[in-house]
Structure 1
């Protein structure tokens, strides 16, 4: 190829690239923070009830949360985002109340578009978070400022089918990484799968009130069909779930019982003959420990409706016993999973797009989980695309 031919080809490719960028700028306007807020307000058709609690309430039964004592092994990304609310939140009482709690979201590169969608919604609520990268490709893309590495031996790439291939390894690693952050950073953890989106700020709602009480070692999302009205699920009658969902939960850094259950879960998961995911393994181990504690006359206490609504004011003997394992569910009316589809509540706090196979199936559930389609918008995922791929 002559020098002139080479220069002509480079010039042609450059012109094509400039033409594409010009067309993109013309037809896809730049999305600003103001645009995001306006889009959010325009899309919210259903007005949600006001928060049912006041975080600045002076409660003599509740001690202020200590400052986080970040250990030397605490990852940089976690250090950068401890505390659920970012610095744009004007209410310092809100920020201080959750200053030793961290929000973690997990994802591998195959679901990067869903991560961008999740982050868009969370950012509009004034939240901050750290990404648990489940493969090295996503970790390398996000960098140590924003993501935590899965570890070479645990990295799993690609879309995994339920309980097939490396799915169980990937799912168990989420739990391993959560407990590692809790211990190395000395923080309480709120964990969310990337297909569990936030329509409203859960920490200004029931979830925040339960965390604020500092009563519970474990707060979980139920995995059954949501009732048609709030406060009607069996779990809020003090009846624990047979199997909760491990895709959205809170765990206390002081959670000795949960830590033991997770350790047993990870041991089971690592066995060569294991064919179960983290969720089934965790709840099997959970009920095993529960039976042991009953035999040993060591108390376990599950919340009920009065305690769920006012966890810091209940005078409950078992719940205030230092040896008691306290745990609570989230009302599935406001925090539903993917059944029924769509949820009965037309404006939930969060929505978890499970009980469906495949990446596209999850996207359809997110889009249909509210009438206005606010749960999914492909324009939020532009950052995952590269114009050079056209060449």
Structure 2
């Protein structure tokens, strides 16, 4: 099996397509924009064009734009590597007109490596076909239907027109896997809502929503029973916690935000929410939460085979699940340092002991003072 380790640009470019695909699979990369489709599958058959979905249409979101601003050099290295490894002929970054200034450095440094295409600001719920339609000529659009050998028809998908589409964080996770040897054990996401200052985190997978809310300034006692927590944004989302204080939700590979709103009000009522760019940027909460519940599978995925047992001590970034051969399956990795307290319903629970939110806040204050 190809090794998860640090690699230079030349070393990544020298990878075979098969080895690169396996690294992406083992690292646990899925569609981070919310779809959750296993990314390795998209690269089993090379496509001539890579479309980078930089639109981040959901109201109030900042994560993808921040990732691009903080890691432009890494994206440019990745684009060069993707051309070499997967034979990609053209890379196009789809950017909303309203974000043109934000992506100006990319336009100035393209040098033929990629293109930046400006598209209308219209919200399209991350729809890949709409993005492609706004970038390319009609002969490159995704066909509405594809006729199968047995005479049946299925909806067209981007590969039918020669495209592979990834959102920004998904591609950054590919970079981390190929160049740094790092798996997906955390998620860049935000906690926000009306009257709540936006906090942006690199949160461990399986971290508690209520713990993140408390870190973000929500008074759990006084707000219990009054708030709902939405996993997502105003438009594209799932219910996280219907009534704060009753049950919990956890950071998933597809969690882009926890939207905190008054209980009983539809999330779309907050479609005009405005948020400010977080002054602290993306704050890491790795090993700063009290515990995690790490999924071995999810949505499209067959659960990985557990590699740990109850009572085992694990470290952040340790492999705890091996992909199975049946269906779509990816590697699972510990998102915290602590003790495995149970494996149930395809979830590995890890207790982090003294690493509580209170201690994390104290560490953050001490770091700021230094």
Task: Looking at secondary structure, tell me which structure has more helix per residue.
Answer: 1
The TM-score with structure 2 as length reference comes to 0.27
Q: Radius of gyration: which is bigger?
A: 1
The TM-score with structure 1 as length reference comes to 0.26
Task: Looking at secondary structure, tell me which structure has more strand per residue.
Answer: 2
